[in-house]
Each structure stands twice: as structure tokens, then as C-alpha cells.
């Protein structure tokens, strides 16, 4: 089985080799995220090293204060040593605190920089991935990658890294301080590194699996949640609430269960860690105490070793928390890197050809299209569409009309053969030029939150209000828009809740009109329009399509009137090709369809 | 009633943090005993940690002073024993709070989901699902962690600080008091910190929600973005929102840096002063070396609780913000509810009547007339009524009134003599089934999707419904009717989805069938087949069908023409075609063959744009 890209995302039984592959791609991603911040990273490290050293100095200074300062006053009446120690203590305190505050801001800048970089990358990559990917990977999962998985990484960067860096440095500096004060205590502490290491390793192994389960469980929860909220009308109309609640409760329970297993793991780790620390404290006390009694060790030093021992294990606790956020972030990163590893099956050309003024001649040369390598949708065919020709593409549902349209607008690439515009393979064209030249309007007219005018302007972001209004007028959308509460500035709300399906189609028509492409593909773009609107659009189309190449897919054959040429498709093959008049006059499939359609009009 | 889309909502007169979080209590109630036990365990652990320095003091002033190594073993054993006890208590605390936190979270999540499913469609029109999702996921996560971790430690650490101070004062009142006084600035700063932090924290959570919405839209609208090559443009918008969030996060980090500064600086200065004073007092003979050791050991144990207060406070404020956001949804008043004393329809016949039904969207400006401005319409049992009108005339809204997706703002909808508001929603929706133009399929098998309105339906019911909707294509799917569709399954074409949605409505075998332009995505052949099959169902079922096409209208016994919010004509298709200009204008595509009289005399009620357009057509 492959673990390339998003494959194996729901699996939990990776072979060592597969785990290595996944880990490596995460690490590569992490490395590429970190490298731009290298300079700032070094500065930040310096700041945190100095601040930690300053913080660790405390107990040693107390030891000196007790062992030197106190006798100096008692024996010689000399307060200077004590004064010096106190000043040193104040100094390290101030330096430690100021630097740690500075570090907090510096670290936030770095982690926020990394986050925004990653957000943008995943967002852009998601946009680049082909429709084929989106259709199989589902929107809920791709949303989970960009929301909850990114949150996991955000949490790691926010607090986890701080805990690790500070904790680790703390332990190192305490070790150094301890060895230089009293090497015997230092050795004792080192012995306790062994159980600490074993515990940590145990935790690491055990937690990896549970954390991965948590991510899967939360993704499931999110998919179900989003599906319910976006389909709320159907949920209500068909009384699905109770059944939904039961299903959702199941997912919630699954998520809760995996979450509580994570927490339970901590419930073991944390107390065992404290136990190790406290036993170490007892041993250090014993070893030190015996020597103090012998006169081999000063009391101040003993106090310092005890304080250090206690502090030594405190960050280990925080580092356990680091593992918490690290593990979820690592699992999240694995999935995100998987998505980023997915190659768009419709890739941008590496050396794009510019096409400034496309004429609009489209050719299909020996094109074949198969879905996921085995299901042939369109068997090999040729098709030449001269610039400026308007084609009506008809045929029953599933005949392959939309697939042909998607090949033409390069939503898909052909499995073999080539689709070309003005003699240039679509795969070679700069995406910008391609999208300016070829625009497809589909039946599903999606509106983004924002105003009506912003939605139309999507066709041409730099458009002026006049241009937007002109486009709306041209497709007959102006009047309904001005009758909306805020006119062109009406917020269309979530999923165009307030705007009817037909109005949404008019807006998306206006969008296409504004984009002004040389090749326009309309895939059932008038299906939801009422007859008067359709009539208006038809009229508009005659002028709109005057100097454009167009392919119109419509079940209603009224479009045929404005077409120069009709293609009839069946089972992925073009079975008839001719002028409307010729085909209607003939006895083929189209003349039957047309007759049936005429009958349906009265 | 504002949807916090841009995160600029400012709550009026915020209740105190405590009061705001206390609202979570009903969800936490049953779990609280364990939380309290967890607190007790944590407190014991803390006290044990504080006892260790006391033992040290005895040790230093006794055996160590005397150089008697034989008496060292006892106190060391006690220190070890206390150490083991502390670890055991921490284990207990973890064990006690493990279940409550996750159960509270699960309960709140299910509660939120239930509330969201219950709230009317107008609510969902207003709230982007990203905002809802961030409430259901991250906000509840924050609350869970606060209850099982933040709350417990906050309480316990505060108690430990009190006890620790007492210990310090008992060791030496002057030193102890010095320590306490020096800690005061920390509390003051902690309070100031709250003001600053909670505002930024709220903004950050709102902005995260908005960002989630942007992500969702970019995924749901991927086809449009691709068609226009606007991926980069969408990225620009997304990036600017992400930048806003980054700014807020850095502001947040500054606030945290501020409190860190004080949390470290104040104790260090305190330690330095105590060192000065302590050694001085020891030199003066007022303090033994053992007491000095105990003082610093105790102060060191207290450092973590003292330092953690800032972090725990910020967790508390985060939890408060999260609770606010949770209750923002839970407090939303449901305007479409079941009656207190529901009626039932004894023998349903399917007579549906609109009586002066009005409807306007809650946010439509006062200057606008009602979208539905007094609808009077009667559907006799078994009758099929087509609903015809211009785009935006309110046809879909009218159909949504029948199952109370929206409620009439005046007037009534009456089913078999009963105002539908007197029925439970469940009952009503059992009588009336809908098919939407925008066909939603759920992540489930084809079978479950079609039998959604009749879960107890048999294979025959399923086959019959699929047959009527001409959805035989499902048998070609990999697993036939058991193939998963929807978000997590196979994606189907618009026409296929629409046929399944139609099959779903038919399979429910309702008394009234409401179809909102159910055939728009079908090709002519399939449409003809579906229509032929539908006639069988419609012969015996009351039906209201939104129609854009003459062919759909032909299914109906009568047609109602919707115009300016009213039903202006009801009659047979051929009759209306003959007598009503507006009807002909709306429904007839035969411009050429039918050079009708309506070109010359344009009815007054046709909007200007259409008149203009038609002039354009004829000239």
C-alpha cells in the first residue's frame, strides 16, 4: 500500500518504512518553513539562552550568600560579600525577566510567521489541486486540514516550543550549575536521567497512536457537523434531527474516548515523573546530608543542590506538555504534508507560453479521457471548433457533455491526446492566460460571502462599479439586484441563502460576462432560470457570443437557435455533428430530441 | 441578533468572568464531585510539597548541625515518603478529573448540535458554518481543558499560596511579610492583564472563525475559483485575513510577555531582598540556618504556583470567551418551536390552505413590502397545483412555509383544518415532504438517503421511489443502493442528485408533496420519463410544484400565478395561457410561433426592465 499524498490517511498500521516516509516528508516541510526565519531564529535562541542562564543562577547565589556572606558578617562584620551576592541576584533576576519577555514576543513573531506561511501554502495548494482530487477527498477533510490541523500546529508553536526550548535549556544549565557546585550531586542526578529517559520513551511510543486516533476522530466529527449545517433545510424537512443527533453523539463519543485516552496517558506520565523527581530529591538529600554531617559539604551548597534538583524536574513536566502538543501537531503535520505532496493532476506548466490575444480556435486531437485510469468516459475522438463558432452540445445525462466541457476548460487533462487553443496545447499555457481566455459557467452557481457586486467582480477583480452594473444589465440581472435591500452592496450571506437559485445563476452569468473570455463554456448555466430570464439571457447571448467561441450545454434546446453547430453525444461519443437546420431536418437522434422538446413547450 | 462575521461585535455590559463561566455549570453539575475530589487531591499534593522544607529545617538544625549522621536516615525517609505521597496525589488528581472534563465537553457539544439543528433556517442563513464549527470544536476544547486543568490548578494554587505564606510567616514573620508584600504587585498586574488580554483573546477567536469561513468557502466554491482562475485572488483575501489574525496573535504575545516580565521579576527581586534580610537576621541570631534553608525551599516550592497564576488566569479568560461564544448560540431564541399543546390530524386527507399568508425576512428594510403579501390559495385533497412566477417572486419561500422552515409573519397555513403551527414540527414534516432544487445528499448509502423520510421503508418502497424518479443509475454504482454518497462518498452529478432528492420526497409517501423545481437539472428525455411516472403518484397525493417550464406545469391540475407577493390568478394552464398576459409572459417560450397580442399591449404589472428588454426583442 502506498502512503503517498493523502493515501493511508485513515490507517493506523504503518510499517516502519511507511512511518519513516511520512516522518521525512513532515520534517522536510518543517525545514522549509523554518529556513526563511533563520536569522531571527538565531537571535531568539541567543536571547533565550542568556535569559535561562540568568534564571538558573539563583540557587547558586543563595548558596554563596549562606556559605560566604553569613560567616563574613558573623566572623568579620564584613557585609560586602552579602551585598555583592544580593546585587548579583537582582541583576540576574532583571536580565532573566526582561529577556524572557523579549523572547516571548520574538518567538511569537517567528511562530506566527511560520503559521501564516503554512496557511498560505496549504490554501494555495488546495486551490491548485485538480477537481478530481477535490471530488474524491471531500470538502470536510480538506477543511479539517486547514482548520483543526493548523490549530494543532498553532498550539505547538504558541506554547509547546517555548516549553521545550526553555525546559531543555533549563535542564542543561541546572546540570552545569550542579556539577560546578558539587559534582557528587551532579552524578546522582545524572543517574536519574535513566528512568526519566525510559519514561519519556514509553510515553512517546504510546502517545503517537492515540494522538493519531484523535485527529481522525475529530475530522469525522467535523465532516458530519459541516454536512448537517450546510444541509440544514433537508435535515429539517425530513426530520433527520434525531437520527443526526444519535450519529453525532456517536462521533462525539468516539472523539471523547480517544481524547480521554490521551489524557489518561498523561495521568500516568505526570505522577511517575514527579515520583522520579522526588526520589532523586531524597537521594541527593541523603548523599549531601551525610557529607554535611561529616563536614565535607557546606549547608548552603546542600540547599542549592536540593533547589536545583527540585527545579530540574519541573520543566520535564512542561516538556510532557510539549509532547502533548507535539504529537498532535506532528500528526497534523503528517496530514498537511500529505496534502501538499499531492501533485495536481492538472499541473501548471513549468515553462508557460504566453497567449496575449487568443483567437479562440479549440481543437481536440486524439483525445481520450478515463476516470481514475480504468473507467473510460470519453473514447478517443477528434474535434475542431473554429474561432467564433457557437456550439450546442446535447445528449442525455451521463453522455459525457460535462466531461468534454471540463477538458476544454482544463479542469481535467485528457488521458491521452491534446486539447489546444489557437494551436497551443492547453497544458502549455500560462494559467493566467488560459483562465482569461476560457471561462466555464456551471449550473452550480456558488456565491461567496460578501456583496453582490463583489461576487460579480470575481470575474474581473479590478472592475469599476460601472463595469459591474453594465455586466449585470447585459445578462438581465440589474433589476432584481437593485430591488435587493442593499442593491449591489447587499450581502449575499452564507451560500446565497437569500438569493434564489435563478438569481444566483444570473449573478454568475454576470461574472462570466465581466470576465470577457474569448471562449465561453456554459454547462447547464441556465437550468434554474425562469423563462423570461432565460429569454433575456438568450437575447443577451446573441450579442455576447458574437465574436466568441462558445460551447453551450443545455437540456432545453432553446439554445440551439443561436448555435452555429450542434453536437449530439451518446455514451461518450459524438454521434451527430451538423448545423441545427440540417440535423432537425434529418431523421437522427437530434431531430427526435428536438421534436420531443417542441412538444414539451406548450 | 448579529452574526459576528468580521469580529467587530462588542458585547454590551459584559457580565463578570465568574458569572459568565458559571453558566457552564448545568453541563458540569454531575461531574463536579469528581472535580472537587481532584482539587482535594491536588491540594494534598501541594501541602505535601510544602511540608518537605519543614522536614529540611529540622534536619539542618538537628543532625546536620550536630554532625550526627546516624539521625539523618529518619528525616530523609520522611522526605522520601512525602515525595511518594505527592506523586500518588497527583496521580489521583489526574484520575479524578479525567472523565469529567471530556464528558462535559461531549455534553456541551451534543447540546450545541441539538440547538443548531433546532434553530430555524433564518438563523443558518445568517451564521456562516465556519463560525459554528469553531464554536463546536475549539471553544469547547478550551472549556474542557479549563475545567479539568485550569480551574483545578487555579483553585489549588491559590490555596497553596495562602498556606505557603502562612508557613513563611511562621518561619520568620518579618521575612514572610516581606515576601507577601512583594507579591502584591503581581495580583494588581494580573488584574490589569485581564482587561487587556480578554479583548485580544476574543478578537483572536473571532478572527480564527472568520478564517475558517474563508477556508470553507474557498473549498465549497472551488469550481468557481478555478473557472475564473481566481485561486491567487482568493489567496490574497485569505492572506489579508490571516495577517489580521497574526497581528492579533502578536498583540496577544505582547500582553503575555508583559505578564511574564512581572511574574519573573517580582519573585526574583523578592528572593534577593529575602536573601539580604535572611542572612542579616541569621547573622543577628534571630534565625537559624535550618530556618533560612526552609524559607528558601518553601519559597521555591511556591514559585511555580505564583508564576502559574498568570497562565491560569489567561486560561480562565480564554474559557470565559469560549463560554460566551457557546452561549451566544445557545441563547439564540428559537422562533419556530413546537406548540405547548400540539394537535394531531386524525384522518389526514391533504387539504392545504394558505390564508392571507404574509412573509418578510427579519432583516428586510421597512421600506420594502412583504415578500409574500397575503397569499390565499387552496389545494384540495389529491390536487396538484403548480406555482408559477418570476425568479425572486417568492415561490421557494412559499414552499418553505409549508413545513415551517420559515414561519408566516401574518396569516396562516392550514393543513386539513389545523393551523400547521399547532402541529409538532415532526408531525407536520411527516405529513408534508419536500424536494429542493438544491439537492442535498448526506454521507450515507443511497438507500438511507432515499428512505430518509421513511426509515422504516422496505426494499419495495425504495425500488418504487427510485423507479418513479428514474434513478436506475444507482444500480450501476459500485455497491448499488448501498453505495455511499454525499460528502464522504461518491460524488454524483446535479441531475443524479436531483433525482435522488425527488425519490426521497416520493418515498416518504406524504399526504402533501412539495417540489421546488424538482426537474431543472434533468435532460428532456429523463424529464419526460420522470413526469410520466410522477403522474401515478400525483393522482392520489396533494402536491405543490414550483414550475419554470410548461412541461412541469402540465403535471398540475391547476396553476397558481405568483406576482408581487400575491396569487393573482388560479386556473388551468390552457385557460391562463389564453387569458392572462403575465402568465403567458412567464411561462411561454414560444416567441416565434406565437406572435401574440402581448407584444403590443404590455400589462402594467410587468417590471420595467422586462418591458425594456422586450422592446429590445421586438425592435
Distance CA A319, CA A208 (A): 15
pLDDT in tens, A195-224: 988 988 888 778 778 877 887 898 889 888
Nearest by CB: A480 against B109, B392, B526: B392
Question: Which residue is it, cell 535513566?
Answer: A194
Q: Considering the domain boundaries, does residue B463 fall inside one?
A: no
DSSP A357-426: S----EEEEEEEEEETTTEEEEEEEEEEE-TT-EEEEEE-TTSSHHHHHHHHTTSS--SEEEEEETTEEG
pLDDT tier for residue A8 given thresholds of 50, 70 and 90: low
Query: Taking all residues of chain A, what is their mean pLDDT, rounded to a whole number?
Result: 85
pLDDT in tens, A222-251: 888 988 988 888 888 888 888 889 999 999
User: Considering only CA atoms, which of A267, A259, A260 is closest in space to residue A216?
Assistant: A259
Q: Is B83 touching A (CB cutoff 8 A)?
A: yes
- What's the sign of the alpha-carbon dihedral B169, B170, B171, B173? positive
Q: Euclidean distance between the first and final Cα of chain B, in Å?
A: 50
Is residue A173 within 8 A of residue A53, CB to CB? The reply is: yes
User: Considering only CA atoms, which of B105, B98, B96, B93 is closest in space to residue B157?
Assistant: B93
Query: CB-based contacts of B369: which residues, under 8 Å, 6+ apart?
Result: B565
Asked if pLDDT for residue B594 goes beyond 50, the answer is no
pLDDT in tens, B454-464: 888 899 999 99
Q: Where does residue A326 rank: exposed (0-12), middle (13-18), buried (19+ CB within 10 A)?
A: buried
Nearest by CB: B98 against A62, A148, A260: A260
Q: Considering the domain boundaries, does residue B51 fall inside one?
A: yes
* Three-state DSSP state, B562: strand
Distance CA A248, CA B113 (A): 8
Longest dimension (CA), chain A: 124
- What's the sign of the alpha-carbon dihedral B122, B126, B130, B131? negative
For chain B positions 222-251, those within 8 Å of chain A (CB to CB) are 222-235, 238-239, 242-243, 246, 249-250
CATH number, position B209: 1.20.1560.10
Query: CB-based contacts of A70: which residues, under 8 Å, 6+ apart?
Result: A82, B279, B282, B283, B289
Query: Taking all residues of chain B, what is their mean pLDDT, rounded to a whole number?
Result: 84
How close A152 comes to chain B (CA, Å)? Answer: 10
pLDDT in tens, B206-221: 888 888 888 888 888 8
Q: C-alpha B256: how far from its chain's center?
A: 29
Q: Considering the domain boundaries, does residue B169 fall inside one?
A: yes
User: Considering only CA atoms, which of B197, B156, B143, B199 is closest in space to residue B313?
Assistant: B197
* Three-state DSSP state, A506: helix
- Cβ contacts (< 8 Å) between B132 and chain A: which residues? 225, 229
CB contact under 8 A, A93 and B216: no
- The grid coordinates of residue A588 equal 437522427
pLDDT (0 to 100) of residue B5: 41
Range of the domain at B108: 28-330
Q: C-alpha A337: how far from its chain's center?
A: 10
How many residues in chain A?
Answer: 602
- Cβ contacts (< 8 Å) between B403 and chain A: which residues? 236-237
Beta bridge mates, A368: A416
pLDDT (0 to 100) of residue B611: 37
Is residue A200 within 8 A of residue A324, CB to CB? The reply is: no
pLDDT tier for residue B408 given thresholds of 50, 70 and 90: very high
* Three-state DSSP state, A575: strand
- The grid coordinates of residue A332 equal 497534523
Q: Considering the domain boundaries, does residue B577 fall inside one?
A: no
Q: Where does residue A360 rank: exposed (0-12), middle (13-18), buried (19+ CB within 10 A)?
A: buried
Query: CB-based contacts of A581: which residues, under 8 Å, 6+ apart?
Result: none
How close A80 comes to chain B (CA, Å)? Answer: 11
* Three-state DSSP state, B116: helix
CB contact under 8 A, B90 and A497: no
Distance CA A264, CA A12 (A): 20
- Cβ contacts (< 8 Å) between B137 and chain A: which residues? 147-148, 218, 221-222, 225
Q: Is B126 touching A (CB cutoff 8 A)?
A: yes
- The grid coordinates of residue A479 equal 433589476
DSSP 8-state assignment for residue B558 = E
pLDDT in tens, A13-25: 677 788 888 888 8
Q: Considering the domain boundaries, does residue B237 fall inside one?
A: yes
- What's the sign of the alpha-carbon dihedral A80, A81, A84, A85? negative
pLDDT (0 to 100) of residue B272: 86
Distance CA B531, CA B554 (A): 9
CB contact under 8 A, A86 and B235: no
pLDDT in tens, B537-570: 888 899 999 987 788 888 899 999 999 889 999 9
Asked if pLDDT for residue A3 goes beyond 70, the answer is no
Most confident of A4-8, A438-442, B546-550, B614-618: A438-442
User: Considering only CA atoms, which of B511, B514, B516, B481 is closest in space to residue B498?
Assistant: B516
- The grid coordinates of residue A502 equal 435563478
Q: Is B261 touching A (CB cutoff 8 A)?
A: yes
Nearest by CB: A227 against B64, B148, B443: B443
For B226, other C-beta atoms within 10 Å of its C-beta total 24
Count A/B contacts: CB-CB distance under 8 Å: 520
For chain A positions 556-595, those within 8 Å of chain B (CB to CB) are 556-558, 593
Instruction: Tell me the ipTM for this assembly.
Output: 0.82
3-state helix, strand, coil in chain B (%, to 5): 65, 10, 25
Q: Where does residue B330 rank: exposed (0-12), middle (13-18), buried (19+ CB within 10 A)?
A: middle
pLDDT (0 to 100) of residue B227: 84
pLDDT tier for residue B602 given thresholds of 50, 70 and 90: very low
Region of residue A344 (phi > 0: left; psi between -120 and 50: alpha; otherwise: beta): beta
pLDDT in tens, B432-462: 998 887 778 888 899 999 998 888 889 999 9
DSSP B405-467: SS--SEEEEEETTEEGGGS-HHHHHHHEEEE-SS----SEEHHHHHGGG-TT--HHHHHHHHH
CB contact under 8 A, A126 and B434: no
3-state helix, strand, coil in chain A (%, to 5): 70, 10, 20
Is residue A346 within 8 A of residue A412, CB to CB? The reply is: yes
Average pLDDT over residues B307-331: 85
Q: Considering the domain boundaries, does residue B22 fall inside one?
A: no
C-beta contacts of B422-425 below 8 A and 24+ residues apart = B422/B339, B422/B342, B422/B343, B423/B339, B423/B342, B423/B343, B423/B344, B423/B345, B424/B338, B424/B339, B424/B342, B425/A236, B425/A239, B425/B336, B425/B338
User: Considering only CA atoms, which of A446, A129, A455, A125 is closest in space to residue B221?
Assistant: A446
C-beta contacts of A416-420 below 8 A and 24+ residues apart = A416/A366, A416/A367, A416/A368, A416/A380, A417/A364, A417/A365, A417/A366, A417/A367, A417/A368, A417/A380, A418/A364, A418/A365, A418/A366, A418/A367, A419/A362, A419/A363, A419/A364, A419/A365, A419/A367, A420/A362, A420/A363, A420/A365
pLDDT (0 to 100) of residue A269: 87
Q: Give the number of domains in chain B.
A: 1
| Dihedral angle over CA of A333, A334, A337, A338, nearest 10 | -150
Share of chain B above pLDDT 70, in %: 91
| Dihedral angle over CA of A413, A419, A425, A430, nearest 10 | -60
Q: Considering the domain boundaries, does residue B474 fall inside one?
A: no
Q: Considering the domain boundaries, does residue B473 fall inside one?
A: no
pLDDT (0 to 100) of residue B89: 93
For chain B positions 478-507, those within 8 Å of chain A (CB to CB) are 486-488, 491, 493-496, 501, 504
Distance CA B72, CA B60 (A): 9
Distance CA A187, CA A180 (A): 11
Q: Is B440 touching A (CB cutoff 8 A)?
A: yes
- What's the sign of the alpha-carbon dihedral B100, B101, B103, B104? positive
pLDDT (0 to 100) of residue B40: 93
Q: Which residues in B120-129 are b (16+ Cβ under 10 Å) and which e? A: bbbbbbbbbb
Between helix B173-220 and helix B289-330 the angle, nearest 10°, is 30
* Three-state DSSP state, A549: strand
Question: Which residue is it, cell 459500485?
Answer: B478
Longest dimension (CA), chain B: 123
pLDDT tier for residue B327 given thresholds of 50, 70 and 90: very high
Distance CA A21, CA A4 (A): 9
pLDDT (0 to 100) of residue A373: 65
pLDDT (0 to 100) of residue B487: 66
pLDDT (0 to 100) of residue B78: 92
Q: Domains (ranges, CATH) in chain A?
A: 16-341 (1.20.1560.10), 362-600 (3.40.50.300)
Q: Euclidean distance between the first and final Cα of chain A, in Å?
A: 58
pLDDT in tens, B105-139: 999 999 999 999 999 988 988 887 778 988 998 89
Q: Is A484 touching B (CB cutoff 8 A)?
A: no
Q: C-alpha B499: how far from its chain's center?
A: 30
User: Considering only CA atoms, which of B432, B124, B111 is closest in space to residue A231?
Assistant: B124
Is residue A152 within 8 A of residue A332, CB to CB? The reply is: yes
* Three-state DSSP state, A440: strand
Distance CA A95, CA A85 (A): 15
Q: Is B527 touching A (CB cutoff 8 A)?
A: yes
Amino acid at each position: 500500500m502506498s502512503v503517498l499524498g493523502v493515501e493511508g490517511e485513515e490507517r493506523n498500521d504503518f510499517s516502519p518504512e511507511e512511518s519513516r516516509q511520512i516522518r521525512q516528508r513532515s520534517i522536510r516541510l518543517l525545514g522549509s518553513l523554518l529556513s526563511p526565519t533563520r536569522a531571527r531564529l538565531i537571535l531568539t535562541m541567543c536571547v533565550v539562552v542568556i535569559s535561562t542562564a540568568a534564571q538558573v543562577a539563583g540557587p547558586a547565589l543563595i548558596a554563596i550568600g549562606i556559605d560566604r556572606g553569613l560567616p563574613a558578617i558573623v566572623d568579620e562584620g564584613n557585609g560586602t560579600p552579602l551585598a555583592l551576592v544580593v546585587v548579583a541576584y537582582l541583576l540576574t533576576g532583571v536580565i532573566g525577566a526582561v529577556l524572557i519577555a523579549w523572547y516571548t514576543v520574538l518567538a511569537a513573531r517567528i511562530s506566527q510567521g511560520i503559521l501564516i506561511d503554512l496557511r498560505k501554502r496549504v490554501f494555495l495548494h488546495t486551490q491548485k489541486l485538480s477537481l478530481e482530487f477535490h471530488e474524491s477527498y471531500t470538502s470536510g477533510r480538506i477543511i479539517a486540514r486547514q482548520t483543526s490541523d493548523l490549530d494543532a500546529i498553532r498550539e505547538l508553536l504558541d506554547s509547546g516550543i517555548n516549553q521545550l526550548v526553555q525546559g531543555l535549556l533549563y535542564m542543561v544549565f541546572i546540570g552545569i550549575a550542579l556539577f560546578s557546585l558539587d559534582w557528587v550531586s551532579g552524578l546522582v542526578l545524572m543517574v536519574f536521567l535513566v528512568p526519566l529517559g525510559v519514561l519519556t520513551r514509553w510515553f512517546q511510543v504510546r502517545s503517537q497512536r492515540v494522538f493519531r486516533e484523535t485527529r481522525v476522530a475529530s475530522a469525522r466529527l467535523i465532516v458530519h457537523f459541516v454536512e448537517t449545517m450546510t444541509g440544514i433545510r433537508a435535515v429539517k424537512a425530513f426530520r433527520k434531527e434525531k437520527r443526526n443527533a444519535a450519529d453525532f453523539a456517536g462521533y462525539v463519543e468516539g472523539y471523547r474516548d480517544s481524547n480521554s485516552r490521551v489524557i489518561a496517558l498523561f495521568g500516568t506520565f505526570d505522577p511517575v515523573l514527579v515520583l522520579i523527581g522526588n526520589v532523586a530529591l531524597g537521594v541527593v538529600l541523603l548523599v549531601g546530608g551525610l557529607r554535611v554531617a561529616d563536614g565535607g559539604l557546606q549547608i548552603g551548597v546542600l540547599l542549592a543542590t536540593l533547589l536545583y534538583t527540585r527545579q530540574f524536574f519541573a520543566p520535564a513536566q512542561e516538556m510532557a506538555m510539549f509532547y502533548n502538543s507535539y504529537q498532535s501537531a506532528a500528526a497534523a503535520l503528517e496530514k498537511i504534508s500529505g496534502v501538499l505532496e499531492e501533485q495536481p493532476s492538472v499541473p501548471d506548466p513549468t515553462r508557460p507560453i504566453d497567449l496575449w490575444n487568443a483567437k479562440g480556435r479549440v481543437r481536440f486531437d486524439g483525445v481520450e479521457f478515463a476516470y481514475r485510469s480504468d473507467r473510460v468516459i470519453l473514447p478517443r475522438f477528434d474535434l475542431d471548433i473554429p474561432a467564433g463558432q457557437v456550439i450546442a452540445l446535447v445528449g442525455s445525462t451521463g453522455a459525457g457533455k460535462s466531461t468534454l466541457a471540463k477538458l476544454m476548460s482544463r479542469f481535467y487533462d485528457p488521458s491521452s491526446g491534446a486539447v489546444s487553443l489557437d494551436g497551443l496545447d492547453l497544458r502549455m499555457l500560462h494559467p493566467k492566460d488560459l483562465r482569461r481566455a476560457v471561462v466555464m459557467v456551471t449550473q452550480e452557481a456558488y456565491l461567496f460571502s460578501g456583496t453582490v457586486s463583489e461576487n460579480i467582480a470575481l470575474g474581473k477583480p479590478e472592475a469599476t462599479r460601472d463595469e459591474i452594473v453594465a455586466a449585470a444589465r447585459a445578462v438581465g440581472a440589474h433589476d432584481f439586484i437593485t430591488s435587493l435591500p442593499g442593491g449591489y452592496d447587499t450581502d449575499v450571506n452564507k451560500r446565497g441563502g437569500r438569493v434564489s437559485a435563478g438569481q444566483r445563476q444570473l449573478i454568475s452569468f454576470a461574472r462570466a460576462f465581466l470576465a470577457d473570455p474569448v471562449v465561453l463554456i456554459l454547462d447547464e448555466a441556465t437550468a434554474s432560470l425562469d423563462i423570461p430570464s432565460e429569454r433575456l439571457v438568450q437575447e443577451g447571448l446573441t450579442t455576447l457570443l458574437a465574436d466568441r467561441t462558445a460551447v453551450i450545454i443545455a437540456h432545453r434546446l432553446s439554445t440551439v437557435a443561436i448555435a452555429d453547430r450542434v453536437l449530439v453525444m451518446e455514451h461518450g461519443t459524438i454521434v451527430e455533428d451538423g448545423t441545427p437546420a440540417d440535423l432537425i431536418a434529418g431523421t437522427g437522434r437530434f431531430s427526435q430530441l428536438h421534436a420531443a422538446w417542441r412538444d414539451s413547450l406548450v | 441578533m448579529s452574526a459576528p462575521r468580521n469580529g467587530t461585535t462588542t458585547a454590551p455590559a459584559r457580565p463578570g468572568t465568574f458569572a459568565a463561566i458559571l453558566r457552564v455549570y448545568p453541563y458540569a453539575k454531575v461531574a463536579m464531585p469528581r472535580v472537587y475530589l481532584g482539587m482535594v487531591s491536588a491540594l494534598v499534593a501541594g501541602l505535601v510539597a510544602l511540608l518537605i522544607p519543614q522536614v529540611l529545617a529540622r534536619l539542618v538544625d538537628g543532625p546536620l548541625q550536630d554532625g550526627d549522621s546516624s539521625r539523618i536516615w529518619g528525616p530523609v525517609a520522611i522526605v522520601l515518603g512525602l515525595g511518594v505521597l505527592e506523586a500518588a496525589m497527583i496521580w489521583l488528581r489526574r484520575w479524578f478529573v479525567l472523565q469529567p472534563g471530556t464528558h462535559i465537553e461531549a455534553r456541551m457539544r451534543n447540546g450545541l448540535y441539538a440547538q443548531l439543528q433546532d434553530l430555524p433556517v433564518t438563523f443558518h442563513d445568517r451564521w456562516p458554518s465556519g463560525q459554528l464549527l469553531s464554536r463546536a470544536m475549539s471553544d469547547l476544547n478550551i472549556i474542557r481543558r479549563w475545567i479539568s486543568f485550569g480551574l483545578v490548578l487555579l483553585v489549588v494554587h491559590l490555596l497553596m499560596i495562602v498556606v505557603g505564606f502562612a508557613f513563611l510567616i511562621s518561619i520568620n514573620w518579618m521575612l514572610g511579610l516581606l515576601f507577601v508584600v512583594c507579591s502584591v504587585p503581581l495580583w494588581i498586574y494580573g488584574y490589569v492583564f485581564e482587561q487587556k488580554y480578554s479583548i485580544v483573546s476574543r478578537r483572536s477567536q473571532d478572527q480564527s472563525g472568520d478564517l475558517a469561513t474563508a477556508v470553507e468557502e474557498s473549498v465549497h466554491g472551488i469550481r468557481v475559483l478555478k473557472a475564473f482562475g481566481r485561486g491567487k485572488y482568493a489567496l490574497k483575501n485569505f492572506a489579508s485575513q490571516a495577517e489580521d489574525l497574526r497581528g492579533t496573535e502578536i498583540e496577544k504575545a505582547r500582553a503575555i510577555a508583559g505578564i511574564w516580565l512581572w511574574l519573573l521579576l517580582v519573585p526574583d527581586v523578592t528572593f534577593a531582598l529575602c536573601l539580604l534580610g535572611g542572612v542579616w537576621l541569621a547573622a543577628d541570631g534571630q534565625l537559624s540556618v535550618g530556618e533560612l534553608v526552609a524559607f528558601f525551599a518553601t519559597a521555591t516550592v511556591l514559585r511555580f504556583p505564583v508564576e502559574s497564576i498568570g497562565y491560569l488566569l489567561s486560561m480562565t479568560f480564554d474559557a470565559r470567551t469560549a463560554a460566551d461564544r457557546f452561549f451566544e448560540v445557545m441563547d439564540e431564541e428559537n422562533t419556530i418551536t413546537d406548540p405547548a399543546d400540539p394537535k394531531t390530524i386524525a384522518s389526514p386527507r391533504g387539504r392545504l390552505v394558505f390564508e392571507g399568508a404574509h412573509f418578510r425576512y427579519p432583516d428586510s428594510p421597512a421600506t420594502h413590502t412583504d415578500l409574500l403579501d397575503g397569499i390565499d390559495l387552496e389545494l384540495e385533497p389529491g390536487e396538484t397545483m403548480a406555482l408559477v412566477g418570476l425568479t425572486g417572486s417568492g415561490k421557494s419561500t412559499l414552499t418553505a412555509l409549508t413545513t415551517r422552515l420559515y414561519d408566516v409573519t401574518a396569516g396562516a397555513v392550514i393543513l386539513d383544518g389545523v393551523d400547521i403551527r399547532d402541529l409538532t414540527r415532526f408531525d407536520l414534516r411527516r405529513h408534508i415532504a419536500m424536494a429542493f432544487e438544491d439537492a442535498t445528499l448526506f454521507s450515507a448509502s443511497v438507500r438511507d438517503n432515499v428512505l430518509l423520510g421513511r426509515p422504516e421503508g422496505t426494499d419495495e418502497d425504495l425500488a418504487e421511489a427510485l423507479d418513479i424518479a428514474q434513478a436506475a443509475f444507482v444500480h450501476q454504482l459500485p455497491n448499488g443502493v448501498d453505495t455511499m454518497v454525499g460528502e464522504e462518498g461518491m460524488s454524483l452529478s446535479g441531475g443524479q442528485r436531483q433525482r435522488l432528492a425527488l425519490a426521497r420526497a416520493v418515498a416518504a409517501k406524504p399526504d402533501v408533496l412539495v417540489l421546488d423545481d424538482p426537474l431543472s437539472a434533468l435532460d428532456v428525455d429523463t424529464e419526460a420519463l420522470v413526469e410520466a411516472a410522477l403522474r401515478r403518484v400525483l393522482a392520489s397525493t396533494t402536491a405543490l410544484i414550483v414550475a419554470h417550464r410548461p412541461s412541469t406545469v402540465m403535471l398540475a391540475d391547476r396553476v397558481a400565478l405568483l406576482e408581487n407577493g400575491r396569487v393573482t390568478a388560479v386556473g388551468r394552464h390552457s385557460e391562463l395561457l389564453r387569458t392572462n398576459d403575465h402568465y403567458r409572459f412567464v411561462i411561454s417560450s414560444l416567441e416565434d410561433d406565437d406572435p401574440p397580442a402581448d407584444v403590443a399591449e404590455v400589462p402594467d404589472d410587468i417590471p420595467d426592465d422586462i418591458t425594456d428588454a422586450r422592446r429590445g426583442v421586438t425592435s
